[in-house]
Amino acid sequence: MTDLSMNPEDWIPHRAPFLLIDRLISVEPGVRASGEWTPTGEEWFFRGHFPGRPTTPGVLMLEAVAQVGAVAVLSDERFSGRLPLFGGVENARFRRQVLPGDTLLLECEMTRLSARGGKGHGRASVDGQVAVEADLLFILADASDRKSTRLNSS
């Protein structure tokens, strides 16, 4: 879509060091989004994961996929002012190591979407080889209300 911003910071609240999308490739509001992330080796997590053999943590690859999914959701005007939060991860499979300098293609497609939350299927791949894929469940909280972001409130 040519009229949509391809800057991830225009869509999601994440910022360095936790913004894990370098650039967006495509956005279809409420349906799907894709982007890229190239871990350089200078990121904070490589110092301890693993010394002498830096490997991108699988949970951060899942987070990067979720971030492109959040772009797909938040680019839909129906969800303006909302904040997608993880509700669960199903069927996660880690299939390939990702090393510094590898470029991840991040893709997420919404499979169910409602006013309260939804589900998406996403994957991250390097040179056509899947590194991780999973079904991501999320709830939609009010972005301005700190109390509504508590999943287990009493």
Helix/strand/coil for 65: helix
Please identify which of the residues 49, 63, 96, 102 carries the catalytic annotation: 49
- Look at the block and give the residue holding tokens 């893709």: 107
d(CA 101, CA 145): 38
d(CA 135, CA 137): 7
Q: Which of 65, 63, 110, 83 is nearest to 11 (CA)?
A: 83
Residue 121 bears catalytic tag? no
d(CA 67, CA 19): 8
d(CA 88, CA 82): 18
- Cite the active site residues: 49
